[in-house]
């Protein structure tokens, strides 16, 4: 579930721009192509756009996210500019692939052919999800930017390459890429015991050459209108040092606490939003067949 350039504490800023990146004066930047990584994340899609660091046990089996397909409308300042499609596939026993494809299909975004594609390969170890590989590609007009991260848990090292500054850095036993962290958040929210409020969450996220804890706070219960009808949600907000950038997401228990709405407000007042249009839970029988 990505804006001017990321979903969170590791946001990309003007100083991160390379020779092939869009600058603040480039008209193509008006699409704010990477916005939803800031928002989601991812997500992905959306991606902009989550967490999981607490020690979780076998109880995860009952609340684990399951294969799904979702479609979201993408808005900039209340004007629809594109569509995001998210899906989670089971690719083997305790192995998953999370995909987000965001395309600008209206206005300037559509004219420029703006696209963001993300893929996270994950595995479940000791009842907990963790990233194995992350791939990101953004295309706007004739410009492309990419980022890949490989996770080696035997050596506890991540290898990251954005085409300009490859890096290797230490990781723990359970780390997310910024796209997949939304799945960890969903499982963390589902772990709450009845009557026990969730106050804050802090997942470990690998991005831009380092691992950092992303801070989230659960604010309230709210009813949200979606393309699938009204649903009860938990509103979660990402806590940042830059308090002028606000990212909020609304997670529905009905769909395993995955987000039905993601919204990001930039320091200049620009507002980006993703809203659920359609949701399809992949039958568990089909998921079981893949994992055999």
pLDDT value for 117: 95
Tell me how crowded residue 155 is: count the other CB atoms within 10 A of its CB.
11
Q: What is the DSSP annotation of 253-289?
A: GGGTTEEEEEEEE-TTS-EEEEEEEEEEEPPHHHHHH
Distance CA 121, CA 130 (A): 9
pLDDT value for 142: 80
Which distant-in-sequence residues (6+ apart) come within 8 Å of 186 by Cβ? 50, 65, 251, 256, 257, 258, 259
Give the pair of three-digit tokens for residue 73.
């409308």
Distance of CA 160 to the CA centre of its chain: 18
CA distances from 91 to 83, 126, 232, 277 (A): 25, 18, 31, 26
pLDDT value for 110: 66
Are 128 and 188 contacting, i.e. CB atoms less than 8 angstroms apart?
A: no
pLDDT value for 20: 35
Task: Write the pLDDT tens digit of every residue in 113-131.
Answer: 789 999 999 999 999 999 9
pLDDT value for 275: 97
pLDDT value for 10: 32
- Which residues of the chain fall short of a pLDDT of 70? 1-63, 110-111, 193-200, 284-292
Which distant-in-sequence residues (6+ apart) come within 8 Å of 241 by Cβ? 9
CA distances from 283 to 65, 70, 103, 186, 289 (A): 13, 14, 27, 19, 10
Q: Which of 97, 1, 6 is nearest to 290 (CA)?
A: 97
């Amino acid at each position: 579930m990505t804006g001017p350039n990321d979903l969170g504490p590791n946001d990309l800023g003007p100083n991160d721009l390379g020779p092939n990146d869009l600058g603040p004066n480039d008209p193509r930047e008006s699409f704010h192509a990477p916005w939803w990584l800031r928002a989601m994340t991812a997500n992905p899609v959306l991606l902009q756009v989550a967490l999981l660091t607490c020690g979780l046990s076998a109880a995860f089996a009952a609340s684990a996210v399951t294969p799904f397909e979702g479609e979201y409308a993408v808005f900039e300042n209340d004007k629809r500019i594109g569509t995001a499609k998210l899906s989670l596939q089971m690719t083997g026993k305790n192995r998953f692939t999370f995909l987000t494809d965001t395309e600008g299909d209206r206005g300037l975004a559509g004219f420029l052919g703006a696209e963001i594609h993300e893929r996270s390969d994950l595995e479940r170890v000791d009842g907990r999800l963790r990233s194995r590989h992350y791939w990101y590609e953004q295309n706007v007009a004739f410009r492309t930017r990419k980022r890949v991260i490989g996770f080696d848990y035997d050596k506890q090292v991540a290898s990251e390459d954005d085409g300009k500054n490859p890096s290797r850095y230490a990781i723990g036993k359970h780390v997310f890429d910024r796209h997949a962290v939304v799945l960890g958040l969903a499982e963390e929210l589902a772990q709450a015991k009845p009557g026990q409020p969730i106050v804050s969450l802090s997942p470990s996220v690998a991005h831009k050459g380092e691992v950092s804890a992303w801070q989230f706070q659960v604010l309230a219960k709210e009813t949200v209108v979606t393309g699938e009808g009204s649903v009860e949600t938990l509103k979660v907000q990402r806590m940042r040092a830059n308090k002028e950038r606000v990212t909020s997401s609304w997670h529905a228990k009905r769909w395993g606490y995955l987000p039905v709405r993601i919204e990001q407000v930039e320091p200049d007042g620009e507002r980006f939003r993703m809203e659920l249009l359609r949701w399809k839970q992949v039958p568990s029988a089909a998921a079981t067949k893949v994992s055999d």
